[in-house]
A and B are shown apart, each in its own frame.
Chain A
Amino acid sequence: MELFTPDFGLVFWMFIAFLLLFLVLAKWGWPVIIKMMDKRAATIDRGVEEARQAHEQLENARAEAEKYVQEARSRQAEMLRETARMKSEIIEQARAEAQEAAKKEMDAAKIAIEQARKEAELQFRTEVGRFSIDIAEKMVRSRMQDDKAQTELVNKLLDEIEKN
């Protein structure tokens, strides 16, 4: 029967057709397809891996940023505290300095006043001396008009000196 006994013509053409098909596909077909499928699989794998890494990096970056923000915040607080402290310190210092300056000023004024007072005293004393001498001279002049009064006074003064 024909189906069970291979016919030469069909075997011949089948061999040629199959060989031709194989050569064409082995040269231009399968290697391209397999290479591309491998390449695409590799690319997808790499893509997945890269995405994972990127995600990880993003997570890391986010944590890092968070850390920095936290740090900056704490530093800001620190700085604010520092500034406040410095402010009060400066104010304190300024106040002390002002007090000191005022004191100095006052001291200088006191000295000047003292000096002026002393000068005034001195001047006053000489004035008073001069006045008293003038008065005394006048008194003496008036009293010296009679001789008795003059002698009496001289005696009295002499007594006084003797007593002393």
Chain B
Amino acid sequence: MILKRISFFAFLLAFLFCFPFRVLGAENHEEAEKGLDVKEIIFEHLGDGYGWEVPFNHNARFPLPVILRAKDHKWFCFSSSELTELEEHTGADGKVERHLVPVVKTIKRDGKEYNFVIAKISSHKDKIVEIFPLSAEQQAYLDKKLADARSASDADGFPVIDGYVCVAGKYYSEYRPLDISITKNVAALFIVVLLVIWMVLGLANYYKKRDLRAPRKGMGFFELLVSFIYYDNIKPTLGDKAAKFAPYLLTCFFFILTMNLVGLIVIFPGGANLTGNIAITLVLALCTFIVTNVLGTKHYWKEIFWPDVPIWLKCPLPIMQLIEVFGIFTKPAALCVRLFANMMGGHMIVITLTLLIFILAAFGPAVMGGATVVSVLFSIFMLLLDVLVSFIQAYVFTLLSTLFIASAQESHDEHEAHVHADGESHAEAESELNKEKVLLSKEAAAVDFK
């Protein structure tokens, strides 16, 4: 059995070594010579998009609805497929290359013409902007700016100028409309929501049907997670109030966990980097902020504005109050950034490792072959680590939310009683935080290593 496995891996490695030679033998070094815009590729993979890539096809997108409010407050809705076009051109060696390029979408309504385009050379890169032809005044301003920029960089390119967008070599003035399009991330969000609802209601229905019989297999595993979060985390921390906050915390956990894991899948339904996008984690942290502070007890607010410290720390100069109020905002901010940075970091490392192959291709086939083996092995390792990180980050987010909420739920007498007993749970939370820090530093080290 083991021998079989070893021989399998040996075969795999041999295959990986051969592959680049064959590819390089067939193609010229054009790609490597051109140089890769690594940053561009990474952010294209991690970022949002108006369409969803069809698996294994770079030039096809599943169209998604675009919803916009133009400058004159009119709403527009159309398919994202109308914003791109497949452009073909024949290379010097007779090869046909296809690229997806943005085109201007023109809509006529009430005798007026509205033009939308996905901006490429603009401060709103890869976003839809409404474009207007330039007035004479704007043209003069733009010419001046362009001349400045071109003389500074000694090139004839099309520099990014604030408030203007360059489409096919021509500049227009731009307006970023209110954009609530169903983008790739939004669509993935809906898929995740449906997935979580399906899982949770599935388990709830199971219980309704089978009463007290324990679920098996997948559902049993799901229930294991629920009981792990509820009985090991929420219940001991919140006590009597566990039932009140459990729905929010459990929803948070499973939503984040599912988003993290779906984000690790490379192709459709996955492939959207949700938790590695700050908008998502911001909303989650904001929800915890609202739940913590809106439902906070009188004692919690008293601890903020009149804490139990020597009087000179709070009376003439409100030092403690300042720190506490600052703390209200830093706690959820930390939640937001922690989840975002961890997930985005993980994705970025995997993509960078993969890109390493193409970057090192410039040094010849042997180096590329070696790089391929190393990158693939490292990528697999990192992806596995990311599965772990997905769980840990969802858990840490829930754990810390629980702690924040619990700290805002303490009443006066409880606080008195807890003063001594709290040492332990604090130590526990701290050790958890330390673990987290170690993990973060490891990941940071991994990033630095690149």
Contact = CB atoms under 8 A, between A and B. Distances in A.
A22 B200 CA distance: 11
Interface residues of A, number: 35
A10 B212 contact: no
Contacts of B197: 21, 24-25, 29
| B interface: dominant SS | helix
B322 interface: no
Contacts of B269: none
Contacts of A24: 197, 201
B98 interface: no
Interface string B188-207: 01100100110011011001
Given A18-B283, A26-B247, A34-B230, A13 B278 contact: no
Contacts of A36: 207, 211-212
Interface in B89-127: 125-127
A41 to B, nearest CB: 8
B183 A39 contact: no
Interface stretch (A1-9, A48-56, A147-155, A156-164): A1-9
A158 B271 CA distance: 181
A32 B204 contact: yes
Interface in B212-262: 212, 214, 223, 226-227, 230-231, 243, 246-248, 250-251, 255
Contacts of B248: 22, 26
B296 interface: no
Given A22-B248, A24-B197, A32 B280 contact: no
Interface residues of B, number: 51
Given A28-B201, A40-B212, A8 B193 contact: no
Given A29-B204, A30-B246, A33-B207, A6 B251 contact: no
A17 interface: yes
B410 interface: no
A26 B167 CA distance: 48
B247 A31 contact: yes
A40 B282 CA distance: 37
B283 A2 contact: no
A68 B69 CA distance: 93
A8 B180 contact: yes
Contacts of A12: 180
Given A3-B46, A3-B47, A34-B243, A18 B255 contact: yes
B193 A20 contact: yes
B165 interface: no
Nearest to A35: B207
Contact of A22 (B226, B231, B251, B277): B251
Nearest to B185: A10
A98 interface: no
Given A34-B246, A36-B212, A37-B230, A10 B186 contact: yes
B207 A10 contact: no
Contact of B214 (A30, A31, A40): A40
B196 A25 contact: yes
A13 B251 contact: no
A10 B278 CA distance: 10
B180 to A, nearest CB: 4
Given A3-B46, A18-B287, A8 B190 contact: no
Contacts of A14: 186, 189, 279-280, 283
A30 B197 CA distance: 11
A21 B197 CA distance: 7
A15 interface: yes
B392 interface: no
A33 B189 CA distance: 24
B283 A3 contact: no
Given A14-B189, A14-B283, A30-B251, A6 B278 contact: yes
Contact of A32 (B178, B190, B208, B231): B208
11 contacts: A3-B276, A10-B183, A12-B180, A17-B190, A18-B255, A18-B287, A22-B247, A25-B196, A25-B200, A30-B200, A36-B207
Given A7-B279, A29-B204, A30-B200, 6 more contacts: A9-B179, A13-B186, A14-B189, A17-B193, A21-B197, A26-B248
